[in-house]
Chain A
């Protein structure tokens, strides 16, 4: 074959390399679902070994009946002051108990898993930590998984683990402070409140805002039409560091 070629051409459209779609449709009402919440934001029990802030692919087990006052954060990637005021700003455990009481969700699993995604080792999260967390949640009969990131690389780690959960047959949503990263990394569903990293689940001690973010993220798990779709949530919070 003889083809006329031309040196110096450039591709005209940027193509983010997003991993293959994963999407598990939610097939029952939220009020009958077992809902778990995981986070890459470095939350752990005060009694547990803190995360290594320069990168850590281990995870901590948090029983859902753990009082929020016994939780803390170890994360070097952002200002921790909001979480120090109210751990629900990253890991809204109190809001989930309220939604359970209200009947908005069906149940909570006995325990969940938290990690510190900052600078996370992609391979380890993809091949070890992610599948293990997914398996443990699935074994507890979890239907829905919500997840917060923290910093930029946290969003990547959060998305990797969330994808593992989706692949294991649970319907998941990343609540993203940095939606472009969650999107490009292939989060199955994304909600995007206007919040800074460090308060990914809403302003500290602002119960109505945190509740709305969790509720609408759950509704997005139910309503999201297809893989990787983002819903911008109309809640805004800015903190002065």
Chain B
């Protein structure tokens, strides 16, 4: 027996393929047929070619082979003495209804029975489909609309406030003193001599300024993009007042003494305008002045934890000098962001879980430094055992994460990403939700440790008594093992969960579980590959909007259709369209195969 009777029932409309060679006269039963769930892999492996005139399982069961028939070939009418008549009607009647479901206008807000109708479908009546007004129940009593229980919805209680003042910077140069005056940043060029002493593994540092009209300039691999931000009021990150320089950012690049790029999975050296996805959350914006800090670190230290860290540490010394200048500078405030940590009692409690790299070398992050986006005073998640650490939305928005990651340029989340993370912003602003926190969990190197930290996350989620969560990961590959495990930890506790990752073609998931049924793709590369454009395939506002909507659907019990078997950008754009979001346009970076 190749497939069971139960499997047959679930796959009547799938192609009929013999699992083994069968002689003439064989009466075809389940035992003779290959398992349809394996077809995709078999087609991929070149083992099976499906045929347009191939028959379905329901068309061949009980029929007789007219001649010998080979394994793994589609059964066609020519192979059989007769073909089962299959009632086509049922299928035809059903098809338009499925299409209709996809075209529900945006104005329809579905709740259970939200269109006021009870929908009945009885297979044995050959696909008869009925719509009955929901007000009339079978016993004549009115049925109430299945509206989700509306408690005293979302009374807002502010826990703490953070004011982010964006200070206008219009010019930057390397000079002889460090100051900010009249919108102009000046950095003492000799500061690099002191900065390099911060870590013996850093052999030299150079600074230069790249103006917005000069983005077509060669750069070594982009290790990080880091804002200049500083506390002016408040004891800790997440409260008080923070000043953020607007219009200028630091970009850290690096090589070792042999000129080897400090990178792991692909590097982004080349012309800056081709190697950075300007405007994405982790990147510089088009109009930004970029202060490039280039570090040369000790030979062969690029792939050990200490080497890349040295570059970040030395750059932080320079940024700190500018932070100190920014504290005293009363320049033009171009924008103020009022960020609040709030409780919305009665609204669904949700949490955002961000899996960050924790495998060592460049796969590390600094959590809760003293200054926004800083290095000093923070702890590395690898040293913390990669256990889940919970921050408030304000703490994240105040630069609590400094990224040391140099994994794939396109899918890593750089320091600037976290201070303006679209999912944190989107969830915190959503008045229908009570965002209780943001959990950061490292992805360890060893399989057992991956499962261990995931267990810890599961316990944390359970004890937080949440109604839903979104789980994201940067990068792809081995971290997908724990990413999927995290989704399972939430799912098996009955917590609705949405996963967000780059997968596309190159990063296809190798593991899965039944809870990973609402997934959002970050890819923006045409070939579906990790390309060498920094920040290309990350969480954008569009990705965040789709993820938040999927989470609401999951929590309200509104279906999300299963994914196609292969990455298809049309699916992503259909979701974008449904939500009124701009199209996801893929970047052609020569990765089409």
List the interface of chain A (C-beta within 8 A of B): 1-18, 21, 23, 53-55, 76-78, 118-119, 121, 151-153, 156, 177-181, 183-184, 186, 197, 225-228
Q: A3-B348, A5-B111, A151-B71 are in contact. Are A181 and B38 (CB under 8 A)?
A: yes
CB distance from A154 to the nearest CB of B (A): 10
Name B151's closest neighbour in chain A (CB-CB): A1
Does the CB pair A15–B103 fall under 8 Å?
no
Is B260 an interface residue when CB atoms closer than 8 A count as contact? Answer: no
CB distance from A222 to the nearest CB of B (A): 16
Taking a contact as CB atoms closer than 8 A, the residue among B1, B44, B108, B513 that contacts A54 in the complex is B1
Q: How large is the interface on B (under 10, 10 to 19, 20 to 34, 35 or more residues)?
A: 35 or more
Q: Given the complex of chains A and B, what is the CA–CA distance between A3 and B149 in angstroms?
A: 10
Q: Given the complex of chains A and B, what is the CA–CA distance between A204 and B75 in angstroms?
A: 31
Binds A, one of B249-257, B273-281, B518-526: B518-526
Q: Given the complex of chains A and B, what is the CA–CA distance between A231 and B139 in angstroms?
A: 64
Find residues 495-540 in chain B having any chain A CB closer than 8 Å to their own CB.
499, 501, 503, 508-514, 516-521
List the interface of chain B (C-beta within 8 A of A): 1-4, 19-21, 31-32, 34-35, 38, 41-42, 44-45, 47-48, 71-72, 101-104, 106, 108-111, 147-151, 153, 346-348, 432, 445-448, 450-451, 467, 478, 481, 484, 499, 501, 503, 508-514, 516-521, 546, 549-550, 552-553, 555-556, 558-567, 571-572, 574-575, 578-579
A–B pairs, 6, beta carbons within 8 Å:
A2-B147, A2-B432, A14-B564, A15-B563, A16-B511, A77-B20
Q: Given the complex of chains A and B, what is the CA–CA distance between A118 and B514 in angstroms?
A: 26
Does the CB pair B41–A152 fall under 8 Å?
yes
Does the CB pair B447–A226 fall under 8 Å?
yes
Q: Given the complex of chains A and B, what is the CA–CA distance between A74 and B264 in angstroms?
A: 48
Taking a contact as CB atoms closer than 8 A, the residue among B41, B47, B347, B521 that contacts A197 in the complex is B47
Taking a contact as CB atoms closer than 8 A, the residue among B148, B481, B509, B572 that contacts A227 in the complex is B481
Does the CB pair A9–B509 fall under 8 Å?
no
Residues of A within 8 A of B1 (CB): 54-55, 119, 121
CB distance from A186 to the nearest CB of B (A): 8
Taking a contact as CB atoms closer than 8 A, the residue among A8, A54, A228 that contacts B104 in the complex is A8
Taking a contact as CB atoms closer than 8 A, the residue among A6, A15, A53, A227 that contacts B447 in the complex is A227
Q: A2-B148, A77-B20, A227-B447 are in contact. Are A13 and B34 (CB under 8 A)?
A: no
CB distance from A87 to the nearest CB of B (A): 20
Q: A11-B519, A15-B519 are in contact. Are A23 and B20 (CB under 8 A)?
A: no
4 residue pairs, one from A and one from B, having the closest CB atoms: A119-B2, A76-B20, A15-B512, A13-B519
Q: Given the complex of chains A and B, what is the CA–CA distance between A77 and B467 in angstroms?
A: 49
Taking a contact as CB atoms closer than 8 A, the residue among A8, A54, A181, A228 that contacts B32 in the complex is A54
Residues of A within 8 A of B149 (CB): 1
Q: Given the complex of chains A and B, what is the CA–CA distance between A59 and B513 in angstroms?
A: 30
CB distance from A225 to the nearest CB of B (A): 8
Residues of B within 8 A of A9 (CB): 546, 549-550, 553, 560-561, 575, 578
Q: Given the complex of chains A and B, what is the CA–CA distance between A17 and B514 in angstroms?
A: 6
Does the CB pair A54–B31 fall under 8 Å?
yes
CB distance from A56 to the nearest CB of B (A): 9
The residue in B4, B347, B513 that gathers the most chain A C-beta atoms within 10 A of its C-beta is: B513
Residues of A within 8 A of B35 (CB): 119, 153, 156
Taking a contact as CB atoms closer than 8 A, the residue among A6, A16, A78, A118 that contacts B510 in the complex is A16
Name B502's closest neighbour in chain A (CB-CB): A13
The residue in A5, A54, A180, A181 that gathers the most chain B C-beta atoms within 10 A of its C-beta is: A5
